[in-house]
Chain A
Amino acid sequence: MRRMAFVLGVGTLAVLAACGGNPEPAPPPGPDPDSLAAAQAEQARLDSIRRAEEARRDSIRRAEQMRADSIRRAEERARAETQRVRGMIMARIHFDFNRSDIRPGDAEILDQKLALLQANPMVRVRIEGHCDERGSDEYNLALGLRRANAAKDYLVSRGIAPERVEVASFGEERPLVAESNEDAWTQNRRDEFIVTGGGDRLVMGR
């Protein structure tokens, strides 16, 4: 048993010596009991250092892994939040036939946008007004613009800087539902909200 350890120890030393790159290989050591004990002690010390080193590396690796996981989770959360906030900012509002005033239910949707625009001061949006096909083609461009402006006025009058909100109109040129029935018309009379800038990371805010 001891002999086994000795042989192993000598082998290890030889390997270590070889690894040291010593150009003159030492003469094979004799069976000196003192040097044997010293070699064993040295071996134990080296083993202990190696284990400590391994433990340290493991712990660093674990810590890094945890940190990466936590960053990834945070990013996922942020992405999901950005996605959700973007969806809320983009939520459409709708209008009655030939009208451009904000309906009470849609005011709540705009209030939500208002809070989100305040929580995300870098965000810029374009509001696009749309109409159903029943009106006059050219007049619908003006009506669509009026609808976009109605939403903009709502936000600006509650504190959003006007330069953060641009308006546009597509009249009846881009129907959401390309059909000619009441349901399609209802869906087509709308404002769309496009995030045009500062929308990479969005927060819900308070």
Chain B
Amino acid sequence: MVRQIKQTPMNWVERLYIFEAFRGLFTTLKHFLRGLFRYETLPTVPYPEIKPEIPRDYRAKHRLMLRPDGTPRCVACFMCATACPAHCIYIEAAPSVDGRIEKRAVRFDIDHLVCVFCGLCVEACPVDAIRMDTQDTSYVHRNREDFITPMYDLTAWDPKQYPQNDTQSQVAPGGSKNQQALEAWGLKVH
């Protein structure tokens, strides 16, 4: 969409500069007084002590979704690895032990130093196995190898930190809907 902005020529009051300067001074004074008397309403936060609120749909660190029995939902179809523009996903497939599913991933590595956080892997996944809604934006390691995040790291998330209406997260072990899901699967409930 093209938005055309009309530039009106300045009238003589504006061209005198001094009145506009006073208007500017008034604006900055408002901001100054806000900072002085309503310090806590400043949009900036003291970062390491107070973390900013990150929305759920922010493309943060990846996680692999889990089935009710705790195995990753990934069927090793290589869609994400194919879609990835940075080629940062490495998958090794193996035959699945479950008869209803053809393949499973035995290795699923994401190199976060190469990843561009475009979210195409999430879009490509046919079984909703990979997501980027962890709200985890800063992860620091001492050497480059540690940034290659393996499967056990990607699946190590706690369902309690995700909203209740996020069914896919809550059916995982430890989630509030795990028992129901296991029953629906026909697995024995302990």
Chain A complexes with chain B: no
Taking beta carbons and an 8 Å cutoff, which residues of B are in contact with A?
A: none
